Every structure is written in structure tokens, then in C-alpha cells.
Structure 1
Amino acid sequence: MPQQALLVMDVQEVVVDRFPDADYLPRLEKAIAAARGAGIPVIYVVVGFRPGYPEVSARNKTFRGLVGAAPRLAGDSPATQVHPDVAPAPGETVVTKRRVSAFAGSDLDMVLRAGEIDHLVLTGIATSGVVLSTLRQAADLDFELTVLSDGCLDSDPEVHRVLTEKVFPKQAEVTTVDDWAAAL
């Protein structure tokens, strides 16, 4: 039987604030509670950098604007912490990534393999960012995948719809938080 883990990705206050959806965090809390209740590990993934952003290349269009800016995603700043409404419980793993995919520049693969996890349940912000990038890489690494469509957010509702209805089903099961939680 596959060992699942729920990935909660880029749900940091600085990110959540850019995506106004009052129902998102309560839905995510439900998924987290269901996972914990079923003994499924919850693994948090945050984006963060060292002070001075030495990991960011001037060629990286996504992150190059951080260089020389205030260190809001550097070190242990509050911006690198998981949103307090869905904060990790004691002992839960928090992985720091350096790019869009949860695997890029992190030890996520090592954590998953050490835990003998072979089925990832994906949530996070944004659907077209961390969720898409992580799904693609995880599929190439032969993980079984589930996406909680309402456990993901995107600034463009149409992009979210196309990804969750047309793209993701080619590599993952796509379901809702309620349906996933009920099946546990």
C-alpha cells in the first residue's frame, strides 16, 4: 500500500496575503487535520533564501528582483514562515526550497525517500507555480500523485481550472479536500 504524505507548499503569510480567498485556509486546515487524523505525514515546503540571496542568478526572471531588495524572503524572516493558521505541529517537517518546484534546491526527495513515501498529495499557492512544477518533477521521479484542487490557489482562476481539469489529470488524481478527507 502506498505511503502518502500531504505537501503544504508556499503557504507563507507573504504569499497568502497576495491571494485573497477567505475560505482557503479553513479548507487547507481541514486537509491537514484529516491527514494528521489518518496518520499521514504533513510536510511543509516554504520558499526562502540565505541573506543576500546568493542562490539567485541575475538570469532568473522569477527571483532576480529579490537581489538588492529588502531581505523579506531571506534568513529566518517572518515571510519565510508557514502561515500561523496552518502552522506545523511539533515534529512536522518543514523543507526550504530555493526555486519554484518543491524539489529544487531542497532536501525534499531525501525526506520522502527516508520516510518511504511514494504518494504525494499536493496543495499550495500557486497552482501554476509550485503545484505545477512539483507535480511535473514528482511524476518524473515516479511518485504517485493526488492534487486537492480546492487546496490550491492561483491568481488566474482560468489557469487554475485548466490545470486542475485538463493538465493535472494526465499525471495525477484530482479531487477535492472534502472527497479526499472522506476517503481516508
Structure 2
Amino acid sequence: MNNTALIIVDMVKDFTDPEGLVFYPQNLEILPRIKQVLDECRKHNMLVIFLRHSNRKDKFDKNLVNMRPNCIEGTGGDEIDPMLTVDPVKDYVIKKRRYSGFVGTDLDMVLRENKIQNVILVGTKTNCCIRATVTDAYYLDYTPIVVSDCVATNDETVNQVHLTDIKKYLGKVITSQELFDLLDKGEMV
């Protein structure tokens, strides 16, 4: 049985669409590579989980107090980018309201029920949602693997600082090509 899952973090329209409320051009750059990773992971029958940042419309959310409103239910901004197709039978879509995909969600339960040990992470923002999810995955005894050319934030220096910290303290950092090579050798599953 496959013990590795792909987690796609917050690749929703507010982050990926130029008309989105918190759009970063870097997300358009990584989107095609994330699509390639998604396709390759599916070829290897890997569990795919989409984390979907989604704030409740017209309800208080402490997370939005210090930031621009974004990813509000019903606005379309919290919809997964159409380049990344969701398989409604096999994939999980987990809504989240905090940086970490583990806080207030059933992500840990889904991973444990599927006997997952390794989590491959791609998406946005390296310094917030990627970092928080990696940290919690580490504390929950998963092995986080961040695909460096499939994560981004709005500042490349900040992106690199967080990737360096993740590699040093929390998990592995590899490129998409390194991931593909490992998958082809059967070393990830």
C-alpha cells in the first residue's frame, strides 16, 4: 500500500487568478509545475489532498483581523484553480481557516486512515500555510517533503529562508525533477 500523500496547499483563485484578492504572480509560475506533480503522483496511485483556504462569509474570523479579506465562501475566491482538477471519487478536499492544514480540520485523521507516513507539499505561501502545515506534520510524526519549485510566496528571499529552515529542521526539500526521479525508482511509495 502507498504510504505517501500529495498535499496541494491553497491553490485557490484568490491566490492564483490575477483578479484574486491576494494574487501573487509567483503562483502563476508554480501552477503548471504543480499540475505536473499532481499528474505524476496520480500515475503512482498516490493519495491526493487539496487544502482549500475558505473563510465563512459574513462571519467573524480572527484570522482575518490582521489581513486582507480573502478566500470567502461563495465569492469564487476559495475555489480550487481550474488547472488542478479534483477527482471527486479519489481525492480529498479539506477546507481550512488557519495557516496549518491540521488546525480545525480532519487532515490528520484522513492521513492516518490511509496509513500515510510521508506528505509531499506544494502550493502557496511558503512562509505561512506551507511552513505551518509542515511544522504540524513534523510534530505529528509524518515526514514532510516540500517540492521547492512548486511553492511560492510574494518575496523570493522569504521563500528561500523558509525552505532552508524546513530542510534543516523539519523535513526534506527537493525539486520536482528529484521527486519524479524518486517516483520512477519506486523510492517514495
Q: Report the TM-score range of the alignment, normalised by the length of the smaller protein.
A: 0.7 to 0.9
Quote the residue 1:9 is aligned against. 9
Distance (Å, rounded) in 1 between the aligned partners of 2:85 and 2:127: 23
Q: Which runs of 4+ in 1 moved over 6 A?
A: none
Summarize deviations over 1:39-65 as a string: whole Å, max 9, x none.
Answer: 1111000111233224x13xx4xx126
Q: Tell me, yes or no, if structure 1 residue 157 matches structure 2 residue 156.
A: yes
How many residue pairs are counted as aligned between the two chains? Answer: 175
Change in Cα spacing, 1:66 to 1:132, as seen in structure 2 (3 Å) is closer
Quote the residue 2:75 is aligned against. 77
Quote the residue 2:118 is aligned against. 119
Distance (Å, rounded) in 1 between the aligned partners of 2:71 and 2:25: 20
Identity, in percent, stands at 27
Quote the residue 1:100 is aligned against. 99
Query: What 5-or-longer segments of structure 2 have no aligned partner?
Result: 18-22, 184-189
Measure how far apart 1:145 and its partner are.
1.3
Measure how far apart 1:147 and its partner are.
0.6
Distance (Å, rounded) in 1 between the aligned partners of 2:73 and 2:66: 17
Summarize deviations over 1:3-58 as a string: whole Å, max 9, x none.
Answer: 0000000100111231214431110011001100011111000111233224x13x
Distance (Å, rounded) in 2 between the aligned partners of 1:75 and 1:125: 19
Distance (Å, rounded) in 1 between the aligned partners of 2:13 and 2:29: 15
SS where residue 135 of structure 2 aligns?
helix
| Contact 1:53-1:74 at 8 Å conserved across structures | no
Distance (Å, rounded) in 2 between the aligned partners of 1:24 and 1:106: 26
Change in Cα spacing, 1:24 to 1:99, as seen in structure 2 (3 Å) is same
Query: What 5-or-longer segments of structure 1 have no aligned partner?
Result: none
SS where residue 80 of structure 1 aligns?
coil
- Alignment of structure 1 residues 29-68 onto 2, 5 Å: 29-54=35-60, 56-57=61-62, 60=63, 63-64=64-65
- Of 24, 28, 38, 1:19 maps to 24
| Contact 1:53-1:66 at 8 Å conserved across structures | no
Q: How large is the Cα RMSD of the aligned pairs?
A: 1.9
| Contact 2:120-2:146 at 8 Å conserved across structures | yes
Distance (Å, rounded) in 2 between the aligned partners of 1:168 and 1:74: 29
